[in-house]
Amino acid sequence: MPPSWNVFNEFKDQIKSTAVIRLHGPDRSGIEKKTGSIWNQIVEPKDDELDKIAEIIYYLKNKKVDTYVNVNNHYEGSAPLTIRKIEEIIK
């Protein structure tokens, strides 16, 4: 799948009232090996991508689009820590 930022830029004018951003990670079995199925730390940081996701969230907020962000542990290794990082970026 192409990067979220590319897809967003191609279709952002069509987003009117609600958007869902799903961060699930590309390699489920690989990250499970890295974490040992203990999801309490970031093992594959995606800071550059999260900066782009924050830009998308900010854009949608200004456009008054209800936006839901679903984060899976398989994205970076810990969904709660990834959510915290996103919150810090968008402050």
More confident residue, 76 or 25: 76
Predicted pLDDT at 27: 86
Euclidean distance between CA atoms 43 and 90, whole angstroms: 22
Residue 3 lies in a domain: no
34 within a domain of the structure (yes/no): yes
Domain range for 80: 17-90
Query: Residue 12: inside a domain, yes or no?
Result: no
50 belongs to a structural domain: yes
Question: What is the structure's pLDDT at 3?
Answer: 85
Cα separation, 20 vs 75, in Å, equals: 16
How much of the chain, in percent, has pLDDT values that exceed 70? 100
pLDDT at 19: 96
Q: Report the half-sphere exposure of 9 (CA within 13 A, side-chain side).
A: 8
Q: How many domains in the chain?
A: 1
